[in-house]
Amino acid sequence: MKVQSPEIRGGIRVSELIEMMKRTGFNARRLGEAAQVCNEMIKNDTFVFMTVAGAMVPAGMRNIIAGMLKNGFVNCLVTTGANIVHEISESLGLGHEIGSSYANDLELAERNINRIYDVFIAQEAFEKIEEFLSGVITELDGTYTSYEFLWEIGKRLDDSSSFLRIAWEKKIPIFCPTLHDSIAGLHVSIYRKDLQIDFFRDVNRMIDLCFQKRRMGVIIVGGGVPKNFTLQAMLLADGFDYAVQITTDSPQWGGLSGATLEEAKSWCKLKPDAKAVTVYCDATIALPLLYAFMLDSSLSGQTEK
């Protein structure tokens, strides 16, 4: 098959464009192939884990994550404490502001504004988050997994678009193995009385999910702890049938965030014949496109039925 340049026209659908990308080169083709793998996961009733590292919520990706949970494209989410904190900020109506990476950070500090590359968030937001979380934490006692604790948070968020709220309503586990490494973790440490977060129960539950007798898939956004926490749970099971990875890191430095999915096969985290694609792209570009393709394909399938 020859390389074919996409035939762009006015009103083209995202799914059509990504289909054309499968006949191009480089990471455009990888994105098209990744979309195809995601589509197969949906059609084959796959249990899908999604790992989200980095500052995806501050960058505006929360509706994408929420939509993937709500539409059944993702059955389990693994993310960082930072993304949880920023999701709470959004759900409380505090949000983030479009800023600039060229801002004077000393001036921002004087104005009580925090910078995440080109996104700003006011210090006041973290004060409101602390007020909200302190109320949740002091109401709880006993031992919780991280996902049970996050369900308690989601239950108390009056925001139907929050992925924490959606997870609680649909009983989708959201694991946060780095909860203690975040502002939320600081508040748990300060305000808890008899509340305990048992991260080892998280591990046991993850392993149980991996032992399901059905097709298993994973969508990896970034790398870090969420990626490792999810892939290592497959060490005792049979390995993933499908895997899609979006990363801007590279493998030659030896870090997990850039480690290839082929390398994961050497650990038996993926099955030898697993369909796996790595897309080297900014996740804030690739993830919305993948979700749009999956949503469009899913709606088209419903229409055909």
Active site residues: 269
- Residues 106 and 113 sit within 8 Å (Cβ to Cβ): no
Strand 174-175 and strand 142-144: the pairing is unpaired
Q: Which residues, 6+ apart, have CB-to-CB distance to 161 below 8 Å?
A: 62, 63, 66
Q: Which residues contact 303 (CB under 8 A, 6 or more apart)?
A: none
The total number of residues written for the chain in this structure: 305
3-class SS of residue 269: coil
CA distances from 40 to 33, 36, 298 (A): 11, 6, 11
Reported for 269-272, long-range contacts at CB under 8 A and 24+ positions apart, including other chains, are: 269/231, 269/232, 269/234, 269/235, 269/239, 269/240, 270/234, 270/239, 270/240, 270/243, 271/238, 271/239, 271/240, 271/241, 272/239
The terminus-to-terminus CA distance of the chain in angstroms comes to 31
| CB neighbours of residue 198 within 10 Å | 14
Q: For residue 89, what are its two tokens?
A: 């900020």
Whole-number Å distance between alpha carbons of 264 and 278: 12
